[in-house]
Structure 1
Amino acid sequence: MSRAKLYWILQVFGWSAWLANEALIYSNDFGWSLDWFVAALLNVVVAIVITHNFRKIIKKYGWVELPIDRVIPRILVAVGFMSFFMAFVNIPLDSYLLREEEERDLWSFFFVMQFIFSWAKPLMIWTLFYYASHYFERKSEVEVDKIRLESSVKETESKVLRAQMNPHFMFNALNSIRALILEEPDKAQKAVTQLSNILRSSLLADRRKTVSLSEELRTVEDYLALEKIRYEERLQIRKNIYPDTMHVQVPPMLLQTLVENAIKHGVSKPVKGGFVSLEAKLVGKNLLIIISNTGILETTDSGGFGLENTAHRLELLFGPESKFRIYQASKDVVTAEITIPIPSAEPEKDTPFSKITNIVKPKVTI
């Protein structure tokens, strides 16, 4: 039902009900007469006309937008004026209907004020109801606009975070294959293919909020393959991925950024290199991802822009139940933990991880 139709239904029904009650009171005191019905009908028409015009004034001058200390005097003056008008419409009617005995008394000060106050009551109720309906409507609109704005902000922030991570990744990936071009052309060709896969995933990341863990791991595998060529035996890779985690949705390029950080700030610094360990498992209704690497956590720069915004990015996508922390697990091991809540309605999918990487238990307990 449209707002205009509802407004007119409430106008006609509300005033008809009110004046029908008044007519019954008069009829009980002075006896039933067709004149009472005609007078009540006339009052319905007049009340609808003046309140409808009052509504036009409210909308024209924006009274519903005014603060309460400014609108109350306006309402009191308007209700007073309408009450005077209705009183001086009804006094002649009552003088005619009660002409036998009360024609003069109805024009006395006492009766005039009685008429004014009796009409002020329904008119004030009408005004309060009108303002209340506008208040709740505006409150609802504000809430909807707030939700839309928050959603838009979150979407924009999420896109910005993803977009700002990609240049860092591309720079490091290109460095990892630069030396291969002249020394080992066959490996360089394979590395270019792997890089193209990573770049494709990077481009798609700006279009998608989440990807399955299996898809994200394919990107990580390509990246690690490039870095393995660069660091050779200095880079040890350990994986422990449980198959029932493969369908869980994760932010695109998130794991790649963390693995990249692990190599950049951990493996690349020691002369003997180090290891990167990747584990994913389900803990209750959450996906727990643990990435460990050789290194010492830097207090001033714990991984650049990507890591600084990982927790924020997770919260934008999965809410406050998601968690991210990075800490010094032991003297020379840094660990990053990601907790992602799994929606209860999320369907399970069986993705053969053998197509992505080999599942192996870590050789060393960290």
Structure 2
Amino acid sequence: MPRLKLYWTLQIFGWLAWLANEALIYVNTFGWSIDWFIAADLNAAIAILITHNFRKIIKKYGWVELPINKVIPRILISVFVMSVIMALVNIPLDSYLLSEKEHANFWSLFFMLQYIFSFMKPLTIWTLFYYASHYFQRKSEIEVEKVKLESSIRETESKVLRAQMNPHFMFNALNSIRALILEEPEKAQKAVTQLSNILRSSLLADRRKTVSLSEELRTVEDYLALEKIRYEERLQIRKNIYPETLSCQVPPMLLQTLVENAIKHGVSKPVKGGFVSLETKMNGNKVMIIISNTGVLETTDSGGFGLENTAHRLELLFGVESKFKIYQASKDVVTAEITIPIPAQTVEDKENPFAKITQIVNLKV
């Protein structure tokens, strides 16, 4: 129900219910009269009119946003003023309706205070209820805004990370291609195509939240092929890719970034080079992606590898069941593990060219 419609529903039925109760008390005490019905309707209309205008004042001057020490005096004064107005309407009515049955002085201080305090009870309840509803609404809005802000920040970080292309890699790849142009023009042509594929994936990364694992692996293959030109026999590539995982959705450029860091911080440092291992497997209804490389973990978390946003990206896209961790698997091997939950209806892509069983490859480009 829209909030304004809910407000009027509660406003009308709430006051009618309270005043019906008051009318019953009068009827039980003084007997039935059509005048009680008219008086009750009049009271309901006045109460709705007064509280609705009070609501306008609250909204106009932003009382809901004020600290409690400033709100309480305003509420007390407003409730008292509204009660006085209600009393000034009801005292003449009651003095007229009860003139033949009661001989009390309705305008005495005692009766006036009695009327005022009698109306202060429902008006205070109305005010507290109104403020409570606004408090919970504001609290809910703040939580939603907080979530949206966090999502926006994480999405911005994700876009930056997805679209990031290491300028050193570009420089080295172009130099490697230039060296091949005269000696091995066919390999140079193939390398240009591979670099073009990587650039295309990088440019499209910020337009898509996820891509299939098979598509991401194609980008990784192109990247490794270009790095192989540079490192030659110093770079060994190991793969253990299972067909069941290929349709799994992953953040674009995520694996490429991990592999890039594996080469940058691991393989490029030892004189003899090293290896990069890429493995995927099913673990129940989750896909595990494991990337290992020669090297020593520089920090206790992923920050040293420039992957501070990886866990945030995964959680944003796949929820808390997704996991990312990077650790020192052995003395000279660093391992990064990604766990991604997948829908039960994921279709296997068995005909994909990356559906291979364990292989150790020394690419010759």
Normalising by structure 2, report the TM-score.
Answer: 0.88
Give the match for residue 359 of structure 1: 357
What's the offset of the Cα at 1:312?
A: 4.5
Q: Once structures 1 and 2 are overlaid, which stretch shifts more, 109-118 or 304-313?
A: 304-313
1:323 to partner: Cα distance: 3.4
DSSP 3-state at the match of 2:247? coil
| Change in 2 beyond 3 A, CA 1:214/1:25 | same
TM-fit CA distance, 1:321? 3.8
2:200 equivalent in structure 1: 200
Asked if the contact 1:318/1:340 (under 8 Å) is kept, the reply is no
Matched, 1:102 2:102: yes
Q: Is the 8 A contact 2:242 2:355 kept in 1?
A: no
Q: Secondary structure at the match of 2:291?
A: strand
State the shift of 1:49 in Å: 2.1
Amino acid of the structure 1 residue aligned with 2:63? W
- Whether the 8 Å contact between 2:191 and 2:226 is mirrored in structure 1 is yes
Q: Report what 2:159 is aligned to.
A: 159
Question: How far off is 1:192 after superposition?
Answer: 0.9
CA-to-aligned-CA distance 1:18-48 (integer Å, 9 cap, x gap): 2222122112111211222222222222222
1:206 is displaced (CA, Å) by: 2.2
CA drift of 1:315 comes to 4.0
Instruction: Report if aligned partners of 1:87, 1:115 keep a CA contact under 8 Å in 2.
Output: yes
Equivalence for 1:254: 254
Name 2:130's counterpart in structure 1.
Answer: 130
RMSD between superposed Cα atoms in Å = 2.8
Q: Corresponding residue for 2:346?
A: 347
Question: What residue number does 2:337 align with?
Answer: 338
Counterpart residue type for residue 334 of structure 1:
V
SS at match of 2:119: helix
- Answer whether contact 1:325 1:337 (CA < 8 A) is retained: yes
Query: What's the TM-score once normalised by structure 1's chain length?
Result: 0.87
For 2:108 and 2:216, locate their aligned partners in 1 and report how far apart those are by CA, in whole Å.
Answer: 88
Q: What's the CA shift for 1:297?
A: 4.0
* Cα-to-partner distance string for 1:120-171 (whole Å, 9 max, x where unaligned): 1111122122222222222222222222222212211111222334545434
Q: Give the whole-Å Cα distance in 2 for the aligned partners of 1:319 and 1:261.
A: 25
Unmatched segments (≥5 aa) in structure 2 = none
Q: Which residue identity lines up with residue 127 of structure 2 in the other structure? A: T
Count of residues in correspondence between the two structures: 361
Q: Deviations over 1:322-363 (max 9, x none)?
A: 3334444334x323222222133562232423x247533459
1:329 maps to what in 2? 329
Cα distance, 1:177 vs. partner? Answer: 2.5
Sort the Cα spacing of 1:103 and 1:217 in 2 relative to 1 into closer, same or farther, 3 A: same
Partner of 1:33: 33
Query: 315-324 vs 44-53, which deviates more?
Result: 315-324
The offset of 1:215, in angstroms, is 0.9
Q: C-alpha offsets along residues 264-292 of structure 1, whole Å, 9 cap, x if unaligned? A: 34334444433322211122333222223
For the residues of structure 1 that align with 2:247 and 2:157, how far apart are their CA atoms? 25
CA distance, structure 2, for counterparts of residue 5 and residue 316 of structure 1? 35
> Aligned letter for 1:288?
M
Distance 2:301 2:343 in 1: 37
Alpha-carbon separation, structure 1, partners of 2:56 and 2:357: 73
Conserved? CA contact 2:242–2:356, under 8 Å: no
Instruction: Give, in whole Å, the separation in 2 of the partners of 1:260 and 1:360.
Output: 21
Instruction: Report sequence identity in percent.
Output: 77
User: Could you say which residue in structure 2 is the equivalent of 1:240?
Assistant: 240
Is the deviation greater in 313-322 or in 36-45?
313-322
SS of residue paired to 1:106: coil
Which residue does the alignment assign to 1:53? 53
Q: Which residue of 1 aligns with 2:42?
A: 42
